[in-house]
Homo-oligomer: A and B are copies of this chain.
Amino acid sequence: MKKNLTLKQIAKELDVSISTVSKALKNSDEISEATRQKIQAFAKLYNYKPNNIALSLKNRKTKTIAVIIPEIVHDFFAMVISGIENLANQYGYNVLICLSNESYEREVINMEMLASGSIDGFVISLSKETQAKKDYHHIKEIINQGMPVVMFDRVTREVYTDKVIIDDVLATQEAIQYFISKGRKKIGFITTPDYISVGRLRTEGYKRTLEANGIEVDENLILRIEDESKMDTMIEEFFDKNKFDAVMAVNELYAVNVLKTALRRGFKIPEDLHLIAFTDGVISKNSIPSISTVKQNAFKMGEIAARLLIQKLESENEHEHYITEVVGTELLHRETTTI
């Protein structure tokens, strides 16, 4: 069974990361000479064979695509998957889903496992840890070997491939500008750490809009939530320390917690506090009062991602030509804003 040795097993055996093994086998100078030699010798000894995707691609049509997402607790990813399924099934493709659970290692393991034979291509949204590490080696490798990859939502400029995104800066600008048009001045912003691409872009949109309106950015009014299990306390403290007349949150889970905190403190919604969230999912729709959202058209994003992938798979053309599709967003007013 020597030929079945995987990157993961080599990494475990030599007590280094999977990424180190992968880079060492490509002779990358990011890895020290000594480590490279050790890893290469080990791989040779055990007859390690990288998955020769390119070789087998021509002979193989599994008619199956894989979707790698960070998690499914947030409704956004569930809706993207519905869109992918819908389009893929129309074209006779099956869909496999794998969760990275926000872990770089699981993302790498899942992609390696799937690329070695069961699927034709990937649709992926990056894990938090991958974005923090900025290590996209595993994805570049798969693309280099000839297997198409489409990225959505959490993407990176460092990988050259088809992408589907929304204009996160613009969508945030619209919402913040709306608050300002309603005379709101103390606008809070609840987001993710900056290493998550969409969180960083939305924070940028928030700051830009304030500046464009001559309002000074107060860093105290920005709350970055890293660990969702601490969200409740963080939002309580955020309200202890500041006075708000409007809040925007980068997802609906943060938003509903803002709503609960505000109601508990006697805020009248929307009179005393305006609230807008990203993600038009079951929470914003069903909360009482229902939450106004930036409609990200997640279902459509999924459909476009699947269409881009299937076009690549069925195209005779070998020419490399990548596009980034920007899906339009719109502000959906419910009960936490006044129209």
Contact = CB atoms under 8 A, between A and B. Distances in A.
Contacts of A117: 117-118
Contact of A96 (B97, B256, B260): B97
Contact of A72 (B72, B101, B110): B72
A118 B110 CA distance: 12
Interface stretch (A153-161, A200-208, A233-241, A282-290): A282-290
Given A89-B106, A98-B96, A257 B286 contact: yes
A73 interface: yes
Contacts of A259: 288
Contacts of A177: none
A320 B260 CA distance: 52
A174 to B, nearest CB: 25
A42 to B, nearest CB: 20
A31 B282 CA distance: 44
Interface string A87-117: 0010000111111010000100110011001
Interface in A61-84: 62, 64, 72-73, 75, 78, 81-82
A263 interface: yes
Contacts of A75: 73
Nearest to A94: B113
A309 interface: no
A115 B106 CA distance: 23
A253 interface: yes
Contacts of A120: none
Contact of A99 (B85, B118, B283, B288): B85
Contact of A286 (B72, B99, B113, B287): B287
13 contacts: A64-B113, A72-B72, A72-B78, A72-B81, A73-B75, A96-B96, A97-B97, A97-B99, A118-B118, A259-B288, A282-B282, A287-B288, A288-B288
